Each structure stands twice: as C-alpha cells, then as structure tokens.
Amino acid sequence: MIEKPDGHARVVAVVDDDDAVRDSIRFLLEMADYTVRTYDSPLPMLAVGWRTLDCLVVDQHMPGVTGLEVLARLRGEGAALPVVLITGSISPDLERRATELGARVMVKPLVEDDLLAFVAAVTR
C-alpha cells in the first residue's frame, strides 16, 4: 500500500457506471498499491465525502449526471482534489471545460501507464 508521509494510505476513488471499466481501473490501481474505492454512481461518493480522497477518476457519461457536473460540484465545495475525467468520446468543448475545472481528460480505452503516471504525480 502506498502511503502519504503521515502514514495514511493514498486513496483513489473510481466512479463509473460500467462494471468492467470500473473493475479494470480498480485492479490496475490496486496492483500499483493504491487503496481504491469504487462507485457505480457519483452520488454515494459525494455522500461519503471527497475529503478523504487523494485522487478521483470519474466517467463523463453516466445516467443522471455527467463527470463534468460532478467536477463542478466538487469545485463549488472547494475541492482541489486531482481529477481524471474519462470518456469514450471527446470534444474540444468537453476538454476545454474539464481543463477550466482543473481536470485531466483521458480517452477510453485508457493508456494504463498514463493513468498510473498521473495518479503517482498527484498523490505524492
């Protein structure tokens, strides 16, 4: 388990309504020694709270709410949490808005090394 200097685990949340994608990312991050919390919807993650997270990986296209909406809500609550917004289809507008909100956009299928490098960089 990768720990912060204070001895606590580095925690990454993965929010995606697709079980296979969510489980694949969870497995990748766990193999890299991160503590991973998974959610099939952003609402339970938001209810638990983001303050214990070190990074968030969130899908853009989910029923009822988009990843950008989740990101905007987090920023509205003052969260400086590093976020990776994942999507199967990107547009210049989506990328611009995500960047304005301080998120990194990655296109599915994810390049595993890119995701791991980002998470490692933001959770030091």
Query: What b-and-e string marks burial along 42-71, b requiring 16 or more CB atoms within 10 Å of the CB?
Result: beebbeeebeebbbbbbbbebeebbbbebb
Per-residue confidence (pLDDT) for residue 6, from 0 to 100: 62
Is-contact 4 115, C-beta < 8 A? Answer: no
The reply to whether the predicted model has a pTM over 0.85 is yes
Please name the residue that has the structure tokens 């990328």. 95
User: Domain 11-122 is in which class?
Assistant: alpha beta
Low-confidence ranges of the chain (pLDDT < 50): none
Supply the pLDDT for residue 61.
Answer: 96
Q: Which residues of 14-38 are buried (b: 16+ CB within 10 A; e: fewer)?
A: bbbbeeebbebbbebbeebebbbbb
- Tokens, residue 50: 């983001």
Q: Comparing C-alpha atoms, which of 79, 21, 73 is closest to residue 54?
A: 79
Do residues 26 and 39 touch, judged by C-beta distance below 8 A?
Answer: no
What is the reported pLDDT for 49?
85
